[in-house]
Amino acid sequence: MTPQEIEQLELKYLNKYYYFLKFAEDEMFQGFRTKEHIKDDWIGLYGSNDGEGISDFAVGAERIVYSLLNGKGIGQPNSSPVGADMFFEVEDAFIHIDMKTVNLKNVGDFTNSIFIGENQNSYKAEIIKRNGNIELYEPALPTFYGKGNENEKICLTYFITILYDKEDLTIKVISIDSMPNGELSFHYKNRPLRAGKNPGKARFNIQEVNKFELLSDQPSRIKVVYFDENMSLELRKKLSLFDKINNHPNY
């Protein structure tokens, strides 16, 4: 498979999952709103600092998105214990999808780079840290399943990211991002990776790698599923790339 064919497949399934999420947008937001029906029962626990309460919006949001994708999504779920939270097999690929929720106060974690786990990607490369040290990042996923065999299939990685306001739990942006397959490291080098907070951990440097650079028209590796048009001008400026993609889907 040529590098261009790899990116064509990455783009193909980025588009498929984007259109699925757009199609299911009403159901998704209906699901997000179900928390309001029983608000009196959980509001005192949300954000608890005692370690016993609900600490994040992620739990409920992930439950809704996962149920839609697992129930009505694309592909056959795979039971492998090594993989992202959602792992599907389709005719020409194995697809890993993980969901990330980012508090508005940490907007840079949404616009610049997002945390990734070793079980969520196949991109092996060196990470240059701020102190100049170099660390080899080794993911757990292969670039191809059954590589070299007659029935080999490529491994694709996507992240559904939600930016939300922790104060009122409103959603500002939902996007789906495509991370390059590890076979493309000859081109992207170490640009897709940034150092995580701990040794051996990494972040997907979406700010630096947000185009399918090997395709002639270089389409975006980001698709914006939802964008809050009522957000403040200050926040819109911080989200300028996502605003542009939202208004120009073929950007």
Q: pLDDT of 217-241, one tens digit each?
A: 999 999 999 999 999 999 999 999 9
Domain boundaries, the chain: 3-247
Predicted confidence at residue 53, as pLDDT, reads 43
Closest CA to 103 of 35, 27, 18, 170: 170
Q: What is the pLDDT of residues 100-141, one digit of tens each?
A: 999 999 999 999 999 999 999 999 999 988 777 899 999 999
Determine the residue type at 226.
Y
Token readout for 26 is 């009403």
Helix/strand/coil for 115: strand
Q: What is the pTM of this model?
A: 0.90
> The domain 3-247: what is its CATH number?
3.40.600.20
Predicted confidence at residue 55, as pLDDT, reads 47
Predicted confidence at residue 223, as pLDDT, reads 97
Q: Which residue has the tokens 């907007």?
A: 107
Torsion of CA 18, 21, 26, 28, to 10 degrees: -140
Low-confidence ranges of the chain (pLDDT < 70): 46-57, 73, 249
Token readout for 212 is 């399918």
